[in-house]
Structure 1
């Protein structure tokens, strides 16, 4: 009597099998707005506002209303650039007050300005928004924030890892592998492939099996061991 042994399927560490080979696993969980069940999306608890936050926000909104009324858009934009560097805990309050004043376009502009913040501040600001219930704004800020040169992402991840800030690393890379092509993402590991490749692959696997294999392929084409 013959006993047929079914060979075990070798999962992720398979050789160079064609990347798209995970057919019926769709790209899951809404790539643009990740579900709250994913660990990288869990924010820290809401940060307390600093003492002068309420007054600073009120004065800024009043000034913006006046500048917009007078057609002084250059000065208004300058104020938004400054506000992008405020303590992260102020962002939810500022968002609420700008929307209340009908300055939705100014809030959108502020989100865009915040995208150029250093990585740690970017994640902290996005966290503050998510913790205050402004999840969509927080995710948008992260998505816009990863549209920067690949080497900068790699440097930021290495710096955050060196400080032991694993949660920020996961949040940043989760947004990064969702927004950038696998080929672009592969370029971010050049600074330290040994440390960056595993982190990048872990983030891609959290998005979908398909994205993980696409990244494995892109890394191999770029000459990195995946």
Structure 2
């Protein structure tokens, strides 16, 4: 099932075959067209039929594919799935989206936030922090480059809360000048103790500005 105007990409992660990182993150999702709305409704009808027939494996495949579609489609799918009583499928789709390549994860978070689905955005970012540190770096920089500082901070807050302070060093290493201040601010939002631990780890690693 292909969505209009978008080249299919393969989500990357433990359950996916891998794909190169998307080169650019659009600043804002496009307005949904009539075709977009029709495609979202069609996907939900397909899922509903599969669930009704007890074909959960096929439903999972559909959700995995949907996670890799244009980020601007996610709010549409959220609305359609909840309207159809398929809230559990939306939660599963969001989980799969958390394993997209970094800039696609960032774009998905931005699209959800722009649509006013802030809790879904936060959940997506919380679920995405298990990925390698260098992918967190890519996602944070992609969000920042798209003017999504709020989502970048939310991702870093989730990261420093869930991961060891030493992992913050790996995130900061590619661009300490930009990332060290953001990591410290995110750690401060989590707790004073977490800020202290992250600053200590950065200093031990010899990263300037820490």
| TM-score of the two chains, using structure 1 as the length reference | 0.68
Q: For the Cα contact (< 8 Å) 1:129–1:138, is it kept in 2?
A: yes
1:196 aligns with 2:187: no
Q: 1:119 & 1:215 partners in 2: Cα distance? A: 23
Alignment of 1:2-151 (within 5 A): 48-151=31-134
1:181 aligns with 2:187: no
Higher helix share: 2
Higher relative contact order (Cα pairs below 8 Å, separated by 6+ residues): 1
Q: 1:132 & 1:156 partners in 2: Cα distance? A: 19
Kindly tell me: are residues 174 and 50 of structure 1, through their superposed partners in 2, closer, same or farther at Cα, counting changes over 3 Å? farther
Rg larger in 1 or in 2? 1
* Match among 149, 152, 158 for residue 135 of structure 2: 152
1:135-186 C-alpha deviation (Å, 9 max, x unpaired): 211110111112211132234445666x575626444323322332323223
Q: 1:108 & 1:213 partners in 2: Cα distance? A: 34
Q: 1:133 & 1:199 partners in 2: Cα distance? A: 24
1:24-67 C-alpha deviation (Å, 9 max, x unpaired): xxxxxxxxxxxxxxxxxxxx877521341111111111111111
What is the RMSD computed on CA atoms of the aligned residues?
A: 2.8
Q: 1:52 & 1:130 partners in 2: Cα distance? A: 23
Q: 1:158 & 1:125 partners in 2: Cα distance? A: 14
Q: For the Cα contact (< 8 Å) 2:105–2:139, is it kept in 1?
A: no
| TM-score of the two chains, using structure 2 as the length reference | 0.72
Q: For the Cα contact (< 8 Å) 2:41–2:80, is it kept in 1?
A: yes
1:83-115 C-alpha deviation (Å, 9 max, x unpaired): 112222221221121122222221111001100
The size of the alignment, in residue pairs, is 182
Task: List alignment gaps of at least 5 residues for structure 2.
Answer: 1-26
